[in-house]
Structure 1
Amino acid sequence: MIMLFHPRGMANGPGDCHVMGENMMLAAHALGVGSCLVARGATTFDGPEGQRLLEQWGVPADYEPLCHIVLGYRDGPAPQAKPRRPGRIFKFVFFVPPLSAKPRRPGRIIRVG
């Protein structure tokens, strides 16, 4: 099991942790290892036992737990994805104007196909 932490108060901390976790899961898959992200890091360490573990592991007090990644080998073949249905692909377009620009209307969804 891998536990991901981020510095408390860091604006991009949770997002960075999830991106890092996704990259770890993709790397594990490439090596034939299965994975599952469990997004309950904060509640895992809420109680006295959790705090004791954080101290025992030497996790700095200014780091916040975010999620766990469980690793293992699959017991059987991987499930196959269903074929995609034609005309069911969406393209998301978001406009992020520069700070000096006037506000635009929010992003919109465009159906393709």
Structure 2
Amino acid sequence: CDVRRTAGHLAEVHRPLLECIAVDVRDHDALRGLFAERGRDITLLHLESCTNPSGQLFDFSLLPELKSMAPNCTVVADNTWLTGALFNPLDNGADVVVESLTKYCSAGRC
């Protein structure tokens, strides 16, 4: 949900320099196809480690394969739902981790 809004905002603000493509990261064939076709042009993959509210986990074991097709790609993982206490995306191939400070870190006070 938030990843899609973030991508939409970035595409709007930075048009025509930036093209955002939404893909269901649970569809491994679609993800591989996109990276095989456009890999050299892909510079950012923004994903959620675990989606909220559905609890779908991204398969981080795909990252080495995807990164080999897109050598200039930076992987940004939104780890808000899992938190660093449960899962560290940096240990699993992500380059950058973001978390919402209005959730667990603020104890729900924001």
Give the TM-score normalised by the residue count of structure 2. 0.27
| Structure with larger Rg | 1
- Bigger share in strand: 1
Higher RCO structure (Cα 8 Å, ≥6 apart)? 1
Give the TM-score normalised by the residue count of structure 1. 0.27
- Bigger share in helix: 2
